[in-house]
A = this chain, B = another copy of it.
Amino acid sequence: MAEKNYKLTVSYDGTDFSGWQRQPGKRTVQGTIEEALANICGKKTSVIGAGRTDAGVHARGQVANFKADLRLEKDELLRALNALLPDDVRILSIQKVPAGFNARKMASAKVYQYRIWNSRRISPFVFRYVLHWPGHLDVEQMAKAAKLFLRRDDFTAFSSNCLLHPVREVYRSEIKKKQNEIIYTIEANGFLRYMVRTIVGTLLEVGRGKMTPLQVEEAFRKKDRALAGPTAPAKGLCLIKINY
C-alpha cells in the first residue's frame, strides 16, 4: 500500500505550549500531534506545520500535513487523533491531498489576529487570549498607522532577526474596534520572526501618542529594529488562516 498525504486543520490554545515546533523535553503542539500520530501509525511520523507559532501564541486555523500508510478512513482518523490529543489541541478537519502538498512550502498567505483588551475591567475568562491595556489608546491613529504596513517591503525593522530575504508583502493590515476590544488583522505572503508582535507594539506606541506615522516610515527606510515599538506579548496573537 502506498503512503498517503494528509492535510490537517488544527486549532490550539497556546497558553500551555512552548510553541508549535518540536523541542526535546518541552510540551509543543507539533510534538504532541506527532506523539498521537505515532500511536496511530505505529511508527514515528513527522508533521509539517504551515506556521511555527511562538510559545503562548494560539491558532484557530493552523495547517499541517503528514504522510502515512493508513487503512483508516479520514473520519476515523480524525476521531482517533482527537481522542488521543489533549483538550487544548483539536484537529478541526482532515483532507487527503496529492503527494506533492507541503503545508509550509505551499502556503501562499497567512492571516494573524491580535487582540487588545482596552478597558480597565477584564473578565477572568479572556485574559489568556488578549493583551490587557487599560490606558487610553487613540484607535483612529492606530487604524491610520496600520495602513502603512500594507506594502511589499523589507520588514527588517519589524523583526527580531536579520534575514537574507527580508522582503514580505502585506495584503491586509487593519484595526477594528469591537466594544472593549481592539482587533488587529494582518495578512501577508509570509512573516519574519516576531513580525506581527513588533507591528502591534509599534501600533500601540502610535495609539499612546509616542510614535507618529512618519517614524514608522523612518523605521522602514532605515531598517532599524530600534526605531520600531517593543514586541507585544504572545498571548494576544492567534493564527487564523493559511491560504494555498
Residues of chain A in range 59-95 having any CB-CB distance to chain B below 8 Å: 79, 87-90, 92
| Cβ distance A178 to chain B, nearest Cβ, rounded Å | 17
A224 to chain B, nearest CB (A): 34
Most B CB contacts (10 A, CB to CB) among A90, A123, A125 go to A125
A99 to chain B, nearest CB (A): 28
Check if A87 sits within 8 Å of B11, measured CB to CB: no
Q: Does A12 contact B (CB under 8 A)?
A: yes
CA distance A184 to B163 in the complex (A): 54
Q: Which residues of B contact A120 (CB under 8 A)?
A: 79
Give residues of chain A (91-137) contacting chain B, Cβ–Cβ below 8 Å.
92, 120-125, 127-129
Q: Which residues from chain B contact A121 at a C-beta distance below 8 Å?
A: 90, 92
Q: Is the CB of B129 within 8 A of A90?
A: no
* CB<8 Å pairs between A and B, sample of 20: A11-B123, A11-B124, A11-B125, A12-B124, A13-B124, A13-B125, A58-B125, A87-B122, A87-B124, A87-B127, A87-B128, A88-B124, A88-B127, A89-B124, A90-B121, A90-B122, A90-B123, A90-B124, A92-B121, A125-B129
Other than the given A79-B120, A87-B127, A125-B129, 18 more pairs (CB < 8 A) read A11-B123, A11-B124, A11-B125, A12-B124, A13-B124, A13-B125, A58-B125, A87-B122, A87-B124, A87-B128, A88-B124, A88-B127, A89-B124, A90-B121, A90-B122, A90-B123, A90-B124, A92-B121
